[in-house]
Structure 1
């Protein structure tokens, strides 16, 4: 059995990353999702073990100190990280492990695991991204401006990734990412 690979998808909020990951997982039986752990409280509709592993700060810090996380960081006074054991077991079992990480987490993972494949999803333009975020109607204009500033900062990191994909058409982006993953696995 061939060993799998760590595949990291990263993008600013509003670029379709979550939808792309969902489609990749539906279309490929050998792809599995790496569920992140966090100390932030669950939202109303979130479930432990489905959306995140929700941990207390003490539990998280113990995992960090024991080396049980592939990567971790503190964001807005909450910790986020990737549990090591399930991801490494999946890779050993021949699965392609899909990670949804921000640029900091992605680059930390690549430093530890140079064979990891990093794919950055870009919006067609910052104007399109702003429109997509406004259409969600989930944030105030001030919050939206903060997100757009953060998105610009994240996009500046895109050149550090192995591949960049512009998500102008969702289905085309999914196919392009799938092709990149398959070609990488095949050694092309």
Structure 2
């Protein structure tokens, strides 16, 4: 990878906005992008696979990982823990690989503090009504959980100032292309591209 450090791309937004769908299609379009699988204490949903969708752990196991400082970020969301394994992310970045985190807003706030060089993208719904319909239409959670997710989503939308970019998920393919363009542009930022340019040109140019 020519010695460059990879980009940490943080994709987050309110529950139900479609982070998983957009992230999956982005990885299909950018196959070299590394997906960081999160750890969670919630039970698997139908069709979810250990090590692919999440690493599923008990609350006790998760809390032990917190004590060991094993997470780049972690949060408790709707009575369940979610976290990003730190060692895996830093290893891939050091190898020059771009790493995608699909995380909640609470977690993005922690990553911003611990790794400010990341690229922070907020995935927004086209309308509030569209977000409500998506959350209510899942059919996998009871009304109390749905109500909590809606309350949390309302708070998360207000935290958009945490992010570098906002992408509206009005069309999945269009949203994916916007994010791909953001990643391409971030690699061309002068601060990131300068060292790469120096390696490619002769030393005499920089005397």
TM > 0.5 between the two?
A: yes
1:56 is matched with which residue?
A: 58
1:126 is matched with which residue?
A: 128
Cα distance change of structure 1 residues 139 and 42 upon mapping to structure 2, 3 Å threshold: closer
CA contact (8 A) 2:78 2:149 kept: no
Q: Identify which range, 67-76 or 23-32, moves more after superposition.
A: 67-76
State the shift of 1:141 in Å: 5.4
State the shift of 1:147 in Å: 2.7
Residue segments in structure 2 that go unaligned for 5+ positions in a row = 191-207
Q: Identify which range, 28-37 or 111-120, moves more after superposition.
A: 28-37
- Helix, strand or coil at the partner of 1:71: strand
State the shift of 1:130 in Å: 2.0
Q: Distance in 2 between matches of 1:85 and 1:139?
A: 33
TM-score normalised to structure 1 length: 0.89
Aligned residue among 107, 110, 113 for 2:112: 110
Q: Identify which range, 113-122 or 74-83, moves more after superposition.
A: 74-83
TM-score normalised to structure 2 length: 0.82
1:70 is matched with which residue?
A: 72
Q: Distance in 1 between matches of 2:144 and 2:57?
A: 30
Cα distance change of structure 1 residues 158 and 41 upon mapping to structure 2, 3 Å threshold: same
The correspondence of residues 128-167 of structure 1 with structure 2, limited to 5 A, is 128-139=130-141, 143-167=145-169
Residue segments in structure 1 that go unaligned for 5+ positions in a row = none
Alpha-carbon deviations, 1:121-156, whole Å to 9, x = none? Answer: 111111122233344344455544433222211100
How well do the aligned residues superpose, as a CA RMSD in angstroms? 2.0
Structure whose CA Rg is larger: 2
Moved over 6 A (4+): none
Q: Distance in 2 between matches of 1:93 and 1:180?
A: 21
Q: Identify which range, 50-59 or 98-107, moves more after superposition.
A: 50-59
Cα distance change of structure 1 residues 65 and 135 upon mapping to structure 2, 3 Å threshold: closer
State the shift of 1:171 in Å: 1.2
CA contact (8 A) 2:73 2:111 kept: yes
